[in-house]
Structure 1
Amino acid sequence: MKPYRKAPPLQYLPAFVKSAQLRSFKHAAMQLNITPSAISQQIKALEENIGLSLFKRSQRELRLTQAGASFYETAARALSAYESGWEEFCGQYISATIHLSMISYVANEIVIPRLAEFRQAYPQIDLIIHTSMATENLQDKTLDAAIRFGTPPWAGHDAQLICPAYAVPVASSEYVQQNKEKDKNWQQHSLIHGRNGFDDWQAYGEATASAVTSSRQLFFDSYDAGLCAARAGLGVALAILPISAHELRSGRLQAFADQPLECRAGFYF
């Protein structure tokens, strides 16, 4: 039976492997951001631990001995396995990937146009965007966070206010010109609804003490689809500010009211 000797400390392996690859203590030290004397000391400690010379040293060249070449194969495999395992561990427990949920309108109109700027500022973070109109349960999914329009609290979730929200009736400029005489008599307009399960127009009417019933109504299951219908001249939608403020500034939509109405809901992270 061959005598067992305890394996040398792993801390010496990077200096040894890099020196073997570059055939220079000086160049290895530059790669590892330590001094050449520190490299020499680690190699000396490694050789003393093993009990064998690993390098043939000369003024011209640094070469591996036969034992050094054999040990290099073992050390290189060990470091490669460690680095691969560490990468896998980080991906599972120390991931720099953020899964963020939001409605498609916020993703398309606000986040994605600024994504290049975010990646330049935070190159170590991979942002994965999920779009949904639903209020996601972050505890039951792979999501890390969400940007939502609503009113907290949401059970089991922390919520921080990003900004308050304001509602304003909007339509295309052509629609506004063609329906000037109707003004804010909403009963004579085609009212566009942009989300399921909640009547935003009814809430707007209650807050402004105005009648918003109309026989002509269009229903869509997403906010961006509702605004798209308004831009197409199909009627009047309720735009939410500030996320749609650029639509008014650009003239893609025109406001039907002088002052936006502050919503009870807001935008939360």
Structure 2
Amino acid sequence: MQPSLNLLRTFDAVGRHLSFRAGAEELHITASAVSHQIRDLEAQLGMPLFVRRHRQIAFTPEGAAYHAAVSRALTDIRRATQVLQGAEDSAPLRVSAMPYVATDVLAPAIGRFLAQWPSLRIDIQAETRSMDVAGGDTDVAIRFGYVMHDQTIPLAPAEVTLLCAPSLAETVRADPYAAAQRYSLYSMTDYRELWTRWFEYQQWPDTFRETISLNSYRGLLMAAAHDGLALGLLPVVTPLVQAGVLAAPLPLQRMPLAHFSLEVREAVRWRPEVVALVSWLRALFSECARTTDEYFSSLAV
């Protein structure tokens, strides 16, 4: 029985790092899944490939020889694919995201990544519609949604909190429910139900005035910054609060909502620059989440 390419790719990653955890990080799967795949490969081959020690692993003699051969073969496959897809490789790498994430999170930071890949061209697609990655609409999609599928790579949990014009912060903090009855409530056109969920989360009476909806998330944030209230999507709106454009009157009130995640087109998934980009995006969102936790904790002191 010939091992699957997926098992061999996992074996190659673990062997290069000599670590299940580091191999899992590279492949964007759990260390447990990596461990199970290596055991499946060893069972198919009928011999151990690694010696398990406390907190570390090492090759068996057979494993070392097999890894060298597998690594060469996978490199040859990647090179052959790059030659075959030469025209595609020269095209910009398409990265899609909801408009606010594209313009306010990704675009300002992507230069740091491109400094490490100077020959790479990236086309950032700001899209409100869900891009069909498998169908070729885009190469890398930053998703926002309530459900993560098997092919998605987690980036960060998403939460919402109440934001308002800085001039209203004290009034809202003193009586947020009364403020929600008095001032304009801004919402995204397709996410009007968020205010209902927020009222339920706060255990406020379930009646409130009709919201003002916009089809631009940045637009509604800027509108709220002048004279009203909005629900801020964390961690991506934190820079606007740090800059004083908006105020967060209830910093400890953060409602769990959904997830930010990634989906990558299979044809480009294992290109070195795409593997590096995925790792960089995960680090970017992790840093956004860490900064958000630290900053909002400081507001509550």
TM-score clears 0.5 = yes
Q: Aligned partners of 1:132 and 1:111: how far apart in 2?
A: 13
Q: 2:215 aligns with which of 221, 239, 248?
A: 221
CA RMSD in angstroms, aligned pairs only: 2.5
* 1:147 counterpart residue number: 142
Q: Using the alignment, how far apart are the partners of 1:141 and 1:210 within structure 2?
A: 45
Structure 2 distance, partners of 1:162, 1:240, is 14
Separation in 2, partners of 1:174, 1:149? 31
8 Å contact from structure 1 (residues 194, 224) kept in 2: no
Per residue, is there more helix in 1 or in 2? 2
Give % identity.
22
How far apart, in 1, do the equivalents of 2:126 and 2:184 lie? 28
Change (3 A) 1:117 1:217: same
**Distance verdict in 2 for CA 1:148–1:198, change over 3 Å:** farther
Of 85, 95, 98, the residue aligned with 1:100 is 95
Amino acid at match of 1:98: L
1:249 equivalent to 2:245? Answer no
Cα distance between partner residues in 1 of 2:102 and 2:248: 23
1:230 alignment partner AA: A
Q: What does 1:169-208 correspond to in 2, within 5 Å?
A: 169-177=162-170, 182-185=175-178, 186-208=180-202
Residue 231 of structure 1 corresponds to which residue in structure 2? 225
Amino acid at match of 1:213: T
CA shift in 2, pair 1:195/1:268, >3 Å? farther
Gaps of 5+ in 2: 1-81, 263-301
Aligned AA (1:253)? L
| Rounded Cα–Cα distance in structure 2 between residues aligned with 1:201 and 1:121 | 42
More off after superposition, 245-254 vs 205-214: 205-214
Task: Give distance in 1, aligned partners of 2:200 and 2:127.
Answer: 28
What are the equivalent positions in structure 2 for 1:129-144 lying under 5 Å apart?
129-144=124-139
Aligned length: 180
Structure 2 residue 162 is the aligned partner of structure 1 residue 166: no
What's the secondary structure of 2:190's corresponding residue?
A: coil
Q: Highest Rg: 1 or 2?
A: 1
**How far apart are 1:206 and its partner, in Å?**
2.2
Q: 1:106 to 1:218 in 2, by over 3 A?
A: same
Aligned to 1:19: none
In the TM superposition, residue 215 of structure 1 has moved relative to its aligned partner by 2.2
Residue in 2 that maps onto 1:91 = 87
TM-score for both structures, normalised by structure 2 = 0.54
Question: What is the DSSP-based 3-state SS (H/G/I as helix, E as strand, rest coil) of the residue aligned with 2:177?
Answer: coil
Distance 1:223 1:212, change over 3 A: farther
